[in-house]
């Protein structure tokens, strides 16, 4: 269980589902009984740019380590990856539909993870 392996201020990602599953960059704040308290790095309390970053309790199964960058990996057509979706501000599962420059996901290779990180 990640919450027993994490310590305050560790960088993690936390899962939320808004139609699709997204993993949001977060900071581990503390464990609690059957919950993990996190602060989302890309979600705020409101659309106001001065709004505080959102903090909430999530299930321990909805938390994982931050995906490692894969800067030198050649991406293949049809490969299932996870990419950082800037519009939703989180990581999302997808398939490479264009060439290995990752045009489909419209992101740099540093924003693509090819490991088994999604659920």
How is the chain split into domains, by residue range? 2-65, 68-119
- CB half-sphere exposure, 56, CA atoms < 13 A: 15
Which pLDDT belongs to residue 29?
95
The pLDDT assigned to 28 comes to: 94
pLDDT in tens, the chain (119 residues): 444 567 888 999 999 987 788 899 999 999 888 899 999 998 888 777 778 999 999 998 999 988 777 777 777 778 888 877 777 788 888 777 765 443 444 444 445 555 444 33
User: Exposed, middle or buried by CB within 10 Å (0-12, 13-18, 19+), for 93?
Assistant: middle
Range 2-65 classified under CATH 3.40.50: no
pTM: 0.70
């Amino acid at each position: 269980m990640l919450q027993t392996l994490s310590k305050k201020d560790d960088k993690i990602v936390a899962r939320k589902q808004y139609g699709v599953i997204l993993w949001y960059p977060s900071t581990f704040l503390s464990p609690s009984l059957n919950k993990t308290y996190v602060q989302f790095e890309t979600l705020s309390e409101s659309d106001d740019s001065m709004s505080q970053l959102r903090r909430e309790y999530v299930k321990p199964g909805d938390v994982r380590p931050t995906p490692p960058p894969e800067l030198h990996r050649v991406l293949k057509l049809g490969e299932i990856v996870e990419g950082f979706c800037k519009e939703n501000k989180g990581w999302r599962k997808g398939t490479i539909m264009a060439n290995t420059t990752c045009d489909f996901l419209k992101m740099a290779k540093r924003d693509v993870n090819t490991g088994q990180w999604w659920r």
